[in-house]
Amino acid sequence: MPATSMAHVTRRAIQEWVQAGLIDAATAERLRAFEDRRRGPHGTRWPVLAAIALGGILLGSGVLLFVSAHWDRLSPAGRFAIVLLMVAVFHAAAALVASRFTALATVLHAVGTVALGAGIFMSGQIFHLEEHWPGGVMLWAAGAWAGWAILRNWSQAALAAILTPAWLAGEWIVAGEHFSGASRIFGQALVLLAATYLSARTPDHDGPTRRALAWIGGLALIPAVIATIETWDWRDNPALPAGLRVTGWIVGIGLPLLLAFWLRGRHAWMNGVAAVWAVGLGLLAALDKDRATEGLIRFVLDQLGVYVWCGLGSIALIAWGLKEARPERINLGMAGFALTVLFFYFSSVMDKLGRAASLIGMGILFIVGGWILERARRRLIARLKEAGP
């Protein structure tokens, strides 16, 4: 058996022992560390994995560009044959190399599922199907779920974790495009879903799929927060109907919380706190955009409001990382706090200073603030290592 497959089997067995109560989490971590040291140079290193991933992306892009360049010269039958062949070839190639090179097989299966999405929308173009466009994303997500059910592969799970919310987002965009308030609910749901993905890794449960979810959540969280704050609803549009609003809250808040409960069990109460924070962020952002508010409320919202809330959220994310010994949450919380201070300086301080004073202040902020935050981050990470097994 290849070294990568053996490592996966070993880690899976250790995880099953933990779940069966045969060993505790500390013993499991020591076993994993021992296996990593024992394998040494036989495991696939990250430069190889990066090269394979980049090669898969370039391969898929090249195929799509080649097909698009010759698309007009092909008959409808030829176009459809290419679409089917494009999906089948990658999965067949992955099956051929699976026993010899697991990482390559994973990438090829992922490219095959990506090609499925292109095939779905190309088929709609070939046969001039005027359908509900989110339905195509739904079929693509169903293909990713089918791939995960068959392969139990982290790449298929990651694609399903991206495409399923994309389908639901498409349905929501179509349903609420003519109403005011729809985009705000979408932003809050996206923030909570990103937090749920980020929290997939726990001290008791870990693995390639959960690591992929954590990466997706970590990359999406800060952009989702910014999108929620900066979203603007056209006030000339009618308000969102009550039934549609309730549906949006149930799906946008309820489904991420159910997913958190499935991933984290009794520890999902922390995701409930994240849900309260996401809802509060949307409300504060909406009040900040409401120019009807005046006086002290207007001053607080303009000068503090969202910034204080984001600062508190960043601190809570750091505390969450400390509690569950997850350094990525500490790093992301530090980045969020730094961005909050930076945005506050640009929006509320810089325009009140002269040109020279604003540049000096920015330099001090970057140098002193960056040094303080990095020192605090290193201390927190060191505390996690000292507390580890």
Closest alpha carbon to 282 in 331, 240, 243? 240
Contact at 8 Å (CB) between 223 and 281?
A: no
* 55 vs 293 pLDDT, higher one: 55
Using CA atoms, how far residue 236 sits from 60, 179, 181, 233, 240, in Å, is 43, 9, 11, 9, 12
Using CA atoms, how far residue 195 sits from 228, 231, 232, in Å, is 14, 19, 23
**What three-state secondary structure class fits 153?**
coil
Span 53-74, pLDDT tens digits = 677 677 767 766 766 676 667 6
Span 127-169, pLDDT tens digits = 666 667 788 889 889 999 998 998 888 889 999 999 999 999 9
Q: What is the pTM of this model?
A: 0.76
- Among 41-55, 83-97, 169-183, the range scoring the smallest mean pLDDT is 41-55
**What three-state secondary structure class fits 301?**
helix
Distance CA 94, CA 102 (A): 9
Confidence band for 275, pLDDT divided at 50, 70 and 90: very high
